[in-house]
Amino acid sequence: MLSLPWWIYFVLAGIVFSAYMMIKSVRKDQEIDQSFIEKEGEVYIERMKQERERRRQLPRL
């Protein structure tokens, strides 16, 4: 393994580092997406509750 040129070790280290950073950024992006989805879901549920309450207060015909 020591017969390889020294710059190949830097290339391999760069590839490993890039893979690590890619995985790290994908996980962070998934966390952001999940929090956005949860927030939008809460807004939707709140609108459903408000609509249900509005329909309860309407006089029945």
The tokens for 29 are 């992006």
Dist CA 23 CA 21 (whole Å): 5
Query: How buried is 24 (Cβ within 10 angstroms: 0-12 exposed, 13-18 middle, 19+ buried)?
Result: exposed
pLDDT of residue 58: 84
Residue 59: the pLDDT is 76
pLDDT value at residue 61? 64
pLDDT of residue 1: 62
Quote the strand ranges of 10-56, DSSP E: none
For 2-43, how does the pLDDT look when each residue is reduced to its tens digit (9 = 90+)?
788 999 999 999 999 999 999 999 999 999 999 999 999 999
Task: Indicate the domain borders of the chain.
Answer: 28-53
What is the per-residue pLDDT for 34? 97
Token code pair at residue 32: 């952001």
